[in-house]
Amino acid sequence: MAASNDPLSQRKPQSDTAGTPVGPHGASIDPADVARFAAQAAEWWDPKGPFAPLHRFNPARLTFVRDQAAAHFGRDPRARAAFQGLSLLDIGCGGGLIAEPMRRMGFAVTAVDAAPENIGTARAHAEQSGLDITYRAATVEQLEAEGAGPFDVVLTLEVIEHVADPAAFIRACSRLVAPGGILIVATLNRTLKALALGKVAAEYILRWVPAGTHDWRQFIKPDELRAMLASEPLTVTGPFGLAYDPLADRWSQGDDADINYMMVATRD
């Protein structure tokens, strides 16, 4: 489920949304997916629009991130501005659905997206809400090349399944984590259950997301994600499943990681 917060063997040609070849600092992006989400930029904050599933999905993601960060940094998640003094990077931020509540929790937030249209939407909404968030139209490779960060918390939620080179992408994300900091990844598992429910049902039966949003071949198994990070000085835990209860119309954390799941990596 879930569109990007916003491929394992078959990769698309690397070019930007105008068809220009991408340089080395943007090598992991998938131009087709960037263009798809950019075309919907103005609708990110419409709870009944094409991103309605993310609005329903968001409380479970936010709770997970808050609780993991609180446990790791010894903060009281119930306190006002509980994470004051900590920095957070939201990679593939889309219209800012994660960045804004993270700022309200006290984090100093930097948020990036490869689609300038998404950044324009996110920046405008944050200004209307009186939130000081640093938004940039950039790729994670650009941030790494510029020496950005490091950040106490790095988030990449429902993004890795949309990039052209997931291994290069996630390793670049991990190198932006400060020593002792955490990387939180959310994605979809490449299982038959995810194909049936996360792809076919979500796109063609329930119409939760537009048809073509996901390519099941790009879904990533937890062990594959763990292997991608094996060369980095990280301790990886998870997967932590996120499951949908159709009766309650609610997402929550559970043991079932067959479709949506999250993983946490701590930099040594």
Is beta strand 134-137 parallel, antiparallel or unpaired with respect to 177-188? unpaired
Amino acid of residue 206: L
Q: Compute the distance between CA of residue 119 and CA of residue 128 in angstroms, rounded to an integer.
A: 14
b/e burial code for range 203-241 (CB count within 10 A of at least 16 → b): beeeebbeeebbbbebbbbbeebbebbeebebebebbbb
Q: How many residues are recorded in the chain?
A: 268
- What CA–CA distance (Å, rounded) separates 249 from 61? 15
157 is in an annotated binding site: yes
Can the peptide bond before residue 239 be classed as cis, meaning omega within 30 degrees of 0? yes
Question: Is 61 annotated as belonging to a binding site?
Answer: yes
Question: In 3D, which of 96, 111, 94, 98 has the Cα closest to residue 57?
Answer: 98
Q: What is the DSSP string of 105-126?
A: TT-EEEEEES-HHHHHHHHHHH
Residues flagged as binding site: 61, 92, 113, 157
Residues flagged as binding site for S-adenosyl-L-methionine: 61, 92, 113, 157
